[in-house]
């Protein structure tokens, strides 16, 4: 899952928000210096990713991508699922989306001093430019995918996953709506943070 979904599935604390995004910035970081609550958030990130990758609906959604681009399907779906979460926000949350974003950004700002430098830079940029506002629009998803494509160090067609999404967006949406409620239940009942009060 991408940033928004990980924050949606995190607890409403600075340590949980930090830990639940730390999984994307883990390389080269000595996590032993962090508190147990941050580490539980990190474990929650991994549990969410593992559940997502193995879920039948997500496996099905990956098949909608052209065979030459299927290796990039998990990343493209992560980004597009954030868009779908916003699109169906009222189905999954009673908190207005703008209020959720403001609260999450505030919690992340509180955790910024503890974050690894690369994470500070990315999360600071996300807050300043409100990436989630872009994720709400399909053109914003295309922009996010284009940015990721440019970061890949070898020649690729990742940017063309936008065409796959456009062609099969209704089928992908159907798979998302089947999958996401089950992910919420899994995190609530079995996630590493589920034992915290």
State the average pLDDT over residues 98-113: 97
State the average pLDDT over residues 98-111: 97
Mind listing the pLDDT tens digit for each residue in 133-184? 989 988 888 888 887 766 766 666 778 899 999 999 999 999 999 999 999 9
Question: Cβ(17)–Cβ(41) under 8 Å?
Answer: yes
Question: Percent of the chain, pLDDT > 90?
Answer: 81
Our CA dihedral for 167, 171, 172, 176, rounded to 10 degrees, sits at 160
């Amino acid at each position: 899952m991408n940033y928004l979904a990980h924050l949606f599935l995190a607890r409403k604390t600075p340590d949980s928000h930090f830990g639940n995004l730390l999984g994307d910035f883990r390389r080269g970081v000595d996590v032993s210096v962090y508190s147990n609550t941050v580490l539980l958030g990190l474990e929650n990130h991994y549990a969410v990713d593992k559940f997502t990758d193995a879920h039948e609906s997500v496996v099905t959604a990956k098949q909608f991508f052209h065979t030459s681009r299927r290796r990039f399907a998990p990343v493209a779906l992560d980004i597009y699922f954030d868009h779908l979460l916003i699109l169906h926000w009222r189905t999954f949350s009673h908190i207005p989306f703008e209020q959720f974003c403001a609260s999450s950004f505030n919690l992340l700002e509180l955790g910024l001093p503890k974050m690894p430098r690369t994470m500070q830079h990315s999360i600071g940029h996300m807050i300043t430019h409100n990436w989630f506002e872009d994720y709400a629009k399909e053109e914003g998803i295309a922009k996010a995918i284009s940015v990721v494509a440019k970061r890949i160090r070898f020649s690729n067609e990742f940017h063309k996953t936008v065409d796959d999404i456009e062609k099969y967006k209704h089928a992908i949406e159907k798979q998302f709506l089947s999958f996401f409620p089950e992910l919420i239940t899994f995190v609530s009942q079995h996630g590493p943070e589920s034992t915290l009060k």
